[in-house]
Amino acid sequence: MKKTHRSALFLAAGLLAAVLVYAWVVDTDGGDNPFVKGTCTYNNNGTNISFTDTCVNASFLREYFPIDTNTSDSCGSRLVYCPGYNYNANNCSHTYTCGQGRCKESVSCKE
């Protein structure tokens, strides 16, 4: 009886390992991070599919990020309005525009 149980356990572990080889998703910027250009890649039945964060124009960024669910792994995306991160602090103006696949900060200070 124990031998059959162990065999079933090893078979289940082998099947799980096979599933893990074919189901994964990774993002080089760590996920939903509009301040770092990244590439989200997932595996679809042995084929890698990638999406790279891209500026739509000077204000908007298409940000890709992993979607990891119980049934599938893939990449989702959202549109980020970079000037929405603008702020003022300590007599300095921090403004954001989209460039090189990320929201980039510019700082100008008044004395």
CA–CA gap between residue 105 and residue 69 (Å, rounded) = 33
What count of other Cβ atoms lies within 10 Å of the Cβ of residue 62?
Answer: 17
> pTM here?
0.75
Report the number of secondary-structure helices (H) and strands (E) in the chain: 1, 9
Structure-derived torsion over alpha carbons of residues 51, 35, 70, 20, reported in degrees to the nearest 10:
60
Q: Which residues are within 8 A (CB) of 100 and not within 5 positions of it... i.e. 6 or more apart?
A: 37, 55
Tell how strand 73-81 and strand 60-68 pair up. antiparallel
CA–CA gap between residue 52 and residue 96 (Å, rounded) = 20
Q: How far is CA 81 from the centre of its chain?
A: 17
Print pLDDT tens along the chain (111 aa): 333 333 444 444 444 444 445 568 999 999 999 999 999 999 988 899 999 999 999 999 999 999 976 667 899 999 999 999 999 999 999 999 999 999 999 999 987
